[in-house]
Amino acid sequence: MLAFSPAAQRMFGFKARDIIGENISLLMPSPHAKNHDGYLDKYLTTGKKNIIGIGREVTARKKNGTLFPVELSVGTLTRRGERLFTGFLRDLTTHRISENQIADLQNELIQLARHSAMGELATTLAHELNQPLTAIANYTLATRKLVADMQSDEQAKTALDFLDKSAGQAQRAGEIIRSIRTFVKHHENKFRWENLEDAVCEAVKIASIGTGNCPIDVQINKQAPVPDICMDRIQIQQVVINLVRNAVDAVRTQEGAHAINIKISRHGTRSVIVRVLDNGPGITLEVEKRLFEPFNTSKPDGVGVGLAISKTIITSHNGDIRGRNRKKRGAEFYFILPIDSKAEEISS
């Protein structure tokens, strides 16, 4: 090194007098420190630019050994026949910290929204569970009576049938509770290769708790099967639940036959699309103007965060979410997800 600016001295904790004359690799962590001279030789012989004139984020090392992120750009010049390099560095530590804080906050917010959605579902859940639990009690009581005065094979068969039914109902109650618990459980962002159709169907099941006779139909395009998607399953399910619950709220404001359709299909070669269509009154003009903005609601007891959170989730998947009114009647909300936007993060 021939020169070391005062700002560089503050950044690295080295005095210029200690460092001038040393090899630049002193400021890099291994393995770059070890390989640095090789990189330079390679550039000088091949002229192939890896970093020079391009700039990129790298890790630097302070005098005390601490590693920190920097944006580095390198320029080159010739002075009296000698080739010189100048490095410009920007310390990205605070930038990174705030980036992480924003990501944490976002995750907290998404978590919070999940809890509040579940709060609403909890009341309907109690009602929904009541039915299978009463059925279990009834079947068990009847079986006890049957077994008590068992006389024929026929009665034994009926007893077994009741016991099967009772076990089936208990299983159903268990499944409802389990799916809710998995959904609400605190979880870190987890991108994995997932079967989108399964995830959507499971979410629709949760969303349809307590919707009674409102038919919700999921259509999967068998001709063009949807491949596995690199996604955070719980968060994508959260989006589906928001959209389906909104569709249910919308159709319920009207008399007549209710219809909610969910369609999953490929979208071009590298993405998939999930559409939620309803035959409700459609999106009002007032709400449409700020559709995905927080606290935008037309419902007397609405909070107006469902769509905003859904947008945050889909954006973090590098996807797109939109809503519009259908030609004849009702609204359509859809989101598009790239198949492998986070694949690199998973494999790294």
Closest contact distance (angstroms) between CB of 265 and ligand ADP is 20
Q: Which residues bind ligand ADP (CB under 6 A)?
A: 242, 246-247, 250, 278, 280, 282-284, 287, 296-299, 302-308, 331
Q: State which residue, 132 or 280, has the beta carbon closest to ligand ADP.
A: 280
Name the minimum Å distance from CB 309 to ligand ADP. 8
Query: Which of 34, 299 has the CB closer to ligand ADP?
Result: 299
Shortest distance (Å) from residue 263 CB to ligand ADP = 15
Task: Tell me the closest approach of the beta carbon of residue 311 to ligand ADP, in angstroms.
Answer: 9
Nearer to ligand ADP, 134 or 284 (CB): 284
Question: Nearer Cβ to ligand ADP, position 58 or 303?
Answer: 303
In the sheet where 56-61 sits, what is the strand order?
Answer: 56-61, 67-79, 82-91
**Least distance CB 112 / ligand ADP (angstroms):** 14
Distance CA 210, CA 216 (A): 12
Q: What is the 3-state secondary structure (H, E, C) of the chain?
A: CCCCCHHHHHHHCCCHHHHCCCCHHHHCCCCHHHHHHHHHHHHHHHCCCCCECCCEEEEEECCCCCEEEEEEEEEEEEECCEEEEEEEEEECHHHHHHHHHHHHHHHHHHHHHHHHHHHHHHHHHHHHHHHHHHHHHHHHHHHHHHHHCCCCHHHHHHHHHHHHHHHHHHHHHHHHHHHHHHHHCCCCCCCEEECHHHHHHHHHHHHCCCCCCCCEEEEECCCCCCCCEEECHHHHHHHHHHHHHHHHHHHHCCCCCCCEEEEEEEECCCEEEEEEEECCCCCCHHHHCCCCCCCCCCCCCCCCCHHHHHHHHHHHCCCEEEEEECCCCCEEEEEEEECCCCHHHHHC
The smaller minimum CB distance to ligand ADP, of residues 128 and 278, is found at 278
Instruction: Tell me the residue number closest to ligand ADP, measured at CB.
Output: 306
- Cβ nearer to ligand ADP, comparing 221 with 284: 284
Give the residue with the Cβ less far from ligand ADP, 25 or 297.
297
Q: Could you tell me the smallest distance in angstroms from the CB atom of residue 220 to ligand ADP?
A: 21
**Neighbouring C-beta atoms of residue 126, cutoff 10 Å:** 10
Nearer to ligand ADP, 280 or 338 (CB): 280
CB of 285 to ligand ADP, least distance (A): 11
Closest CA to 208 of 153, 160, 249, 154: 249
CB of 56 to ligand ADP, least distance (A): 39
